[in-house]
Structure 1
Amino acid sequence: MNTIAQIFVVLAGVFHLAVFAMESLLFMKPSTYKRFLIPNEAEATISKPWAFNQGFYNLFLALGAIGGLIAGGDKGHAIALFACACMASAGIVLIASDRRMARSAVLQAGPPIIALVLAAVA
């Protein structure tokens, strides 16, 4: 995998680490739960178990992407690219499910899609 593709894998991983922090560690802050279109604390409290779990999905995807690069070789890169394919797919599902989340979907899916394309053409 070329260096530029690896940079986009890292960007995708770092983004998903940030989302992990928002969903699993910082979710009850109004500025955080409102990013997820949750209007008030009462609804955030109801959503908190879901968000906590979802945050760990994002953590595991980030670890797969970054860990695959660290492991290196064909197997490590395959793991990193599989994590990117999952991230990209989740971003596509996000935009398909709620157009108001377009910005978040682009942030979520953009870097892994770029990594996948660059890895495919290299």
Structure 2
Amino acid sequence: MLIVAVVLAALAALVHVYIFVLETLRWEEPRTRAIFGTSERDAAITRPLAANQGVYNLMLAIVTAVGIALVWANPAAGFALLFAGTASMLGAALYLAASDRTKLRAAATQGLFPLLAIATAIPAAAIG
């Protein structure tokens, strides 16, 4: 079960690295604007806000990745970081879903892997 949890947490981290790239490095590109439903003008105005949000997503991915790296060598620290990262990702996805019903697909994309990682990590943490 631990391997499954780690793979799911890694996938969650990769999704959040991708979101970082979109929000920080590619925010004003037409394909990214289409994904987020923003106009060229709105993207230019919101660029600093999006970049800041992108950095948050990157930090969640890093916390999760460090947790993955530590989970075998130091299970207490590894699981703590893995749960902190994935639970924060899931919390953000739930907030997105609750605050804007038109963003349910984005919320599912952002939250599915963290939810599954948490669900599979809980029994692994209890054993380990």
| TM-score of the aligned structures, taking structure 2 as reference length | 0.90
- Structure 1: unaligned runs, 5 residues or longer: none
Q: Give the percent of matched residue pairs that are identical in Structure 1 and Structure 2.
A: 35
The counterpart of 2:83, out of the listed 75, 81, 86, is: 81
Higher mean C-alpha displacement, 84-93 vs 1-10: 1-10
Deviation at 1:34, TM superposition (A): 2.3
CA deviations 1:71-91 (Å, max 9, x no partner) are: 232202211111100000000
**Aligned residue runs from structure 1 range 1-122, under 5 A:** 2-38=2-38, 40-72=39-71, 73=74, 74-122=76-124
Counterpart AA for 1:30:
P
Q: Alignment partner of 2:28: what SS?
A: coil
CA distance in 1, matches of 2:100, 2:35: 13
Superposed structure 1 runs of 4+ greater than 6 Å apart: none
CA deviations 1:15-59 (Å, max 9, x no partner) are: 000000000000110110221121x21111111110010000000
Aligned residues: 121
CA deviations 1:60-118 (Å, max 9, x no partner) are: 00000011111232202211111100000000001111111111101111101111111
CA distance in 1, matches of 2:45, 2:34: 14
- Structure 2: unaligned runs, 5 residues or longer: none
Counterpart AA for 1:14:
L
